[in-house]
Amino acid sequence: MEGSSSSSAIFYDFLDRMRNPASLDLVRSIKSFIVSFSFYAANPENDGKKVQEFYTTMEDAIRDHPLWAGATDQEVDCAMEGLEKYVMTKLFSRTFSSTPEDVKIDLETSQKINLLQTFLKPEHLDIPAVLRNEASWLLAEKELLKINAFKAPREKLLCVMNCCKVINNLLLNASMSENHVLAGADDFLPVLIYVMIKANPPQLHSNLKFIQLYRRQTKLVSEAAYYLTNLVSAKTFIFELNSKSLSIDEIEFEESMQAARMTNKETEKEATPTLEERTTLQGQTDPGPSARSHGKEKSGASNYPYMDKEAGDLTIGDVERLLSVYKQVVTKYTGLCTAVKHLSLSRTEPHVTNLEARNVFSAQPEETGKNSDQGVEQ
């Protein structure tokens, strides 16, 4: 098993070697490649090819480098893992969800899943009763939701694999304890689709595309390739889903989707003040601390119905509505952040000089989250 501790050790070993004065030529190549991305507009497919070609070039350079003289294939592979994490963390803002089309697909996928969550049941996906294990599904959801906490392709892929392994273990346990005859992908994919809908991870499309383009191709084989392919298939199924995709009456499906849309609109309407209300509020003068406090309670009651509530005042229906609002806010926030990022000017990093080379790798690349326990990666 390869966990977070070994992953960190691999990365820090790479950084240590890059601080060695003898690595100056490698450092220059790495920094030059990173800077070169600021010279061109984002093009995911072309960018992916450039990165893969760079991996190949650098692997040959590392094998021939004195710092790795006599190194085993495993040691070179570890160096490449460190290189991939460093480079893609530096290029993350430039390569992740880098086109308006990716942002659009992310938003549409999340919105559709949000609608499906209101009525979709396991039987609609023909999931056998023996495979309906809420505890296992919840664990798989948690693993999948970790994907947005990382910037490195390898760590994102591990989240995918850990999610799929939980589901696979569920199938294996069912086959042994319940005498359920496994049907391969016919059992696995419906459960994965249901877990994906329950989890609704933000920027799902962009995360999967990022892994496909920027994970070293030599690592997208065997088990890793199988699980990633299934997740991409599940995402595509959901994006294109209609009544014919499910075991549900067409009229019931359309009515359920329409009801979900109406619920979302009502929720947004309740959570958003009208133009007239905003104008009125903006036109008011400051009435003083005491009046402000009183006014906040009054306006909160009409425009934001939960502002003056306590936890004990909430009903089950309120919780469901608040969860729906929260998911909409997260979806819109991530989409807005990506859109703002596209408006920002690219910043060019300075070239490495002889005096700077030893300090280039003195600090590890920024991460969006801490390492979590990860599973085996092929």
Per-residue pLDDT reduced to its tens digit, 226-266: 999 999 999 999 999 999 999 999 999 999 999 999 988 87
pLDDT(296) > 70: no
Provide the pLDDT confidence category of residue 330 given band limits of 50, 70 and 90. Answer: confident
Sign of torsion, CA 82 8 230 169? Answer: positive
Non-local CB neighbours of 22 within 8 Å, separated by 6+ positions: 66, 67
pLDDT category of residue 11 using cuts at 50, 70 and 90: confident
Kindly tell me if the per-residue pLDDT of 360 is higher than 90: no
Q: What is the pLDDT of residue 329?
A: 78
* Residues 6 or more apart in contact with residue 190 via CB below 8 angstroms: 125, 126, 127
Number of other residues whose CB lies within 10 A of the CB of residue 325: 16
pLDDT at 2 exceeding the cut of 90: no
- 120 CB-near residues (< 8 Å, 6+ apart): 194, 197, 246
Q: Tell me, what's the pLDDT at 313?
A: 67
pLDDT of 143 above 70: yes
The tens digit of pLDDT for each residue in 13-26 reads 888 888 999 999 99
Q: Indicate if the pLDDT at residue 298 is higher than 60.
A: no
Per-residue confidence (pLDDT) for residue 63, from 0 to 100? 94
Q: Which two tokens stand for residue 89?
A: 């963390």
Higher pLDDT, 189 or 297: 189
| Weakest mean pLDDT among 200-204, 324-328, 344-348 | 344-348
Q: What is the pLDDT of residues 53-104, one digit of tens each?
A: 999 999 999 999 999 999 999 999 999 999 999 999 999 999 999 999 999 9
How high is the pLDDT of residue 325? Answer: 73
What is the per-residue pLDDT across 186-208, written as a single tens digit (0 to 9) for each?
A: 889 999 999 999 999 999 999 99
pLDDT attached to residue 4: 54
The rounded distance, in Å, linking the Cα atoms of 343 and 47 is 19
Of 214, 213, 204, 207, which is closest to residue 235 (Cα–Cα)?
204
Please give the Cα distance from 271 to 265 (Å, whole number): 10
The C-alpha atoms of residue 235 and residue 322 are separated, in whole angstroms, by: 25
Calculate the average pLDDT of the chain: 82
Q: What is the pLDDT of residue 222?
A: 94
27-39 pLDDT tens trace? 999 999 999 988 8
Q: What is the average pLDDT across 181-188?
A: 77
Q: Is 165 exposed, middle or buried (0-12, 13-18, 19+ CB in 10 A)?
A: middle
Model confidence at 170: pLDDT above 80: yes
DSSP annotation string for 90-156 = HTHHHHTT-SHHHHHHHHHHHHHHHHHTTT--GGGGT--GGG--HHHHHHHHHHHHGGGG--SHHHH
pLDDT band at 12 (very low <50, low <70, confident <90, very high): confident
Q: What is the pLDDT of residue 357?
A: 52
CB 115 within 8 A of CB 260: yes
> Does the pLDDT value for residue 285 go beyond 90?
no
Enter the pTM of the model.
Answer: 0.74
